Amino acid sequence: MSTLTQNVRFASTQRIALLAIGGVAALLVAAAAILWMKLGTAVFFDVVRAGIAYCF
């Protein structure tokens, strides 16, 4: 297998991985937005407070 073929294959794999990561991130942001609209800010502030309290 030539070096060019290996580089093209690596670039293709890297592109697919980046697209997958971007898709997952977009889904997480969409889920957070939907929960924010449905449940309001209180839920998110409670989660932030609980996270900070867990650290200390």
**pLDDT (tens digit, 9 = 90+) per residue, 6-55?**
666 767 888 899 999 999 999 999 998 898 888 888 777 888 899 899 98
CB 43 within 8 Å of CB 35: yes
Vertex 46 angle, CA 42 and 48, to 5°? 120
Domain ranges of the chain: 3-55
Tokens found for residue 38: 């449905």
Give the DSSP letter string of 6-49. HHHHHHHHHHHHHHHHHHHHHHHHHHHHHHHHHH-HHHHHHHHH
Which one-letter amino acid corresponds to residue 18?
L
pTM: 0.59
